[in-house]
Structure 1
Amino acid sequence: MIDYRLVITAMFAGGALLELAWGRFLFREQTTAKDLALDLGAGLGLPILVLPVIMTSSAAATEAIAPGSANALAGWPAWAMFVTLLIADDLTQYWWHRASHTWPRLNLLHRAHHSAEYLSIRVVYRNNLLYYAMMPGLWLSGVLLHLGFAPVYYVYYIAKMAVIISAHSSVGWDTKLVKIRWLAPLMWVVARTISTPCTHAAHHGKHAADGVTHYHGNYGNFLLVWDVVFGTAKINTERPREFGLEQVEPATWVQELLWPFSRRAQPAALKPAKPEGEP
């Protein structure tokens, strides 16, 4: 059986090579030393440190609460497991992501994901490590893995990561497909079902007034249908010209990656900057 981790690693590598081939991976003009620290620190910290701790801890906690519960739900049909994962993992992540754009303290944990002035697979995991450590969907996934969801979970996780990686890619697969007339009906459905490069690029746009950026919306990670259902979707066929944070005071990579654990990370430094002309 192929290790799902190898499949996901291969997807990241393939995506990176594609961006390199198109000259959209290095972003030398936009990349700073801070960006490199965040891309590498978060990119390695999640799979190497945070995920193993969550999966081990959630399984141990479940067994402690319900002794003998290992594989207790292994007899469920695959479709039921998949639907349960969509709700327990992806729907809860939609609300977690949405909350991180509306709750000031939680926004500090998500700021790193938007501070890059480029959109690339480099930023897929770029978040404060506590953002992931507190994510309900990851803990619930660990519980479900313990209960016997493993075979379906790995298929689900590969599919979800394929969508997330492509949605963050600087080489959008949907930009040309939406212009093909006979594909229009299919692309209409796709754009409202899963997160696509255009809809997610709008979420990362820098300027709210550009007509494309939709920072407070398009929160879905795997499925965009959650945004459609809860009224936060904006379907785009264009990408913003610029990415990043608008009118926000600068912060160090330590503040964005490790707040509130580092003494050097002061929340006051992360407050939105005042608009020009305001005293």
Structure 2
Amino acid sequence: MGLYGFVTLAAVAVLLALEIFFTRNEPHPSRYDRWYGNVALGFTNELIRFGWPLLLLYLAVAQPVAVVDASVLGPTLGALVAILLMDLAAYWLHRLSHLWPWLWRLHRTHHSDLDLDVSTTFRHHPGEIGVHLILVTAMVGALGFTAAQLLPYILLSRCVSLWSHANIRLPATMERPLTWFLVTPRVHQIHHSAWRPETDSNYGQVLTLWDRLFHTYVSPDDVPCPARFGLERFRSVDDQRLGALFAQPIR
């Protein structure tokens, strides 16, 4: 848990600095109000998540309901398999969160942000976090990954998620090759477009492999930047207040 928290705080500090010096899209003047709501949601979710890495590592060691013994793969090969399987599961869970109305009601809190920066990473409804933790924990327990196999994906997923939401501009010569296998800020900003056909694309958490494989990938070369972010239904000042964010699923 200490390593997870340290990596998160270090990544946030670095990305906030990069957003100042390498800004991709001009932020709205109200960004500090946004940060309050996003960070407040993030704090709530971190309280829910607090024991999750410990629970996953416990399941990885105890394997009380494992139907597959992934420990036979060893730490290195097992970590690679865990990255692929966990990221594939994250892709489908994310895609289903757009397809199934009851999951979308929870997930749309994340998409209702009118801007996009590193704080958007934390903007998830607590109900969505709870559902995801239950499903992911069940999967980890069933597959029987060890702690050494699972930890690399936990840290990698966290860092890439923070990075892909950050409002930073990378040189094209650097970012274009990365998009062949990694979700970058320009790839993920398309997913936060206010236009639904763009929103329903680029579901990948870490790897762009799954979007390419299942034909949901939209290249940033085709969509350099969405016309605007957020959801048309939630664009007023009142819609962005913290109480409204908590109430979004039932509105």
Q: Cα distance, 1:241 vs. partner?
A: 4.3
Question: What whole-Å deviation, never above 9, does each CA across 1:228-247 have from its counterpart, x for those lacking one?
Answer: 11111111131224211124
In structure 2, relative to structure 1, the CA distance for the partners of 1:129 and 1:158 (3 Å cut) is same
Specify every segment of 5 or more residues in structure 1 that has no aligned partner in the other structure, as ranges. 179-183, 260-264, 270-279
Paired with 2:32 and 2:70, the residues of 1 have a C-alpha distance of 48
Name the SS of the counterpart of 2:231 in structure 1.
Answer: coil
Correspondence for 1:143:
141
- Find out whether 1:86 has 2:70 as its counterpart: no
Specify every segment of 5 or more residues in structure 2 that has no aligned partner in the other structure, as ranges. none
The match for 2:243 among 251, 254, 262 is 254
Question: What whole-Å deviation, never above 9, does each CA across 1:50-105 have from its counterpart, x for those lacking one?
Answer: 34157538947995945xx8xx7545323432243234421111111111112222
The match for 2:211 among 209, 220, 227 is 227
Paired with 2:76 and 2:172, the residues of 1 have a C-alpha distance of 32
What is the aligned residue count? 242
In structure 2, relative to structure 1, the CA distance for the partners of 1:197 and 1:249 (3 Å cut) is closer
Correspondence for 2:108:
111
When Rg is computed on C-alpha atoms for both structures, the one with the higher figure is 1
- Find out whether 1:205 has 2:193 as its counterpart: yes
In structure 2, relative to structure 1, the CA distance for the partners of 1:80 and 1:57 (3 Å cut) is closer
Question: What whole-Å deviation, never above 9, does each CA across 1:99-144 have from its counterpart, x for those lacking one?
Answer: 1112222111111211111111111121111212111663147538
Paired with 1:40 and 1:224, the residues of 2 have a C-alpha distance of 27
Q: Percent of aligned pairs with the same residue?
A: 21
Cα RMSD after superposing both structures: 3.5
The structure whose RCO (Cα within 8 Å, separation 6+) is larger is 2
The match for 1:242 among 220, 225, 228 is 228
Q: Cα distance, 1:151 vs. partner?
A: 2.3
Correspondence for 1:218:
202
Paired with 1:176 and 1:80, the residues of 2 have a C-alpha distance of 31
TM-score, normalisation: structure 2:
0.78
Name the SS of the counterpart of 2:104 in structure 1.
Answer: helix
Paired with 1:118 and 1:225, the residues of 2 have a C-alpha distance of 26
Correspondence for 2:117:
120
TM-score, normalisation: structure 1:
0.71
Give 2:40's aligned amino acid: G
> Larger % of helix: which?
2
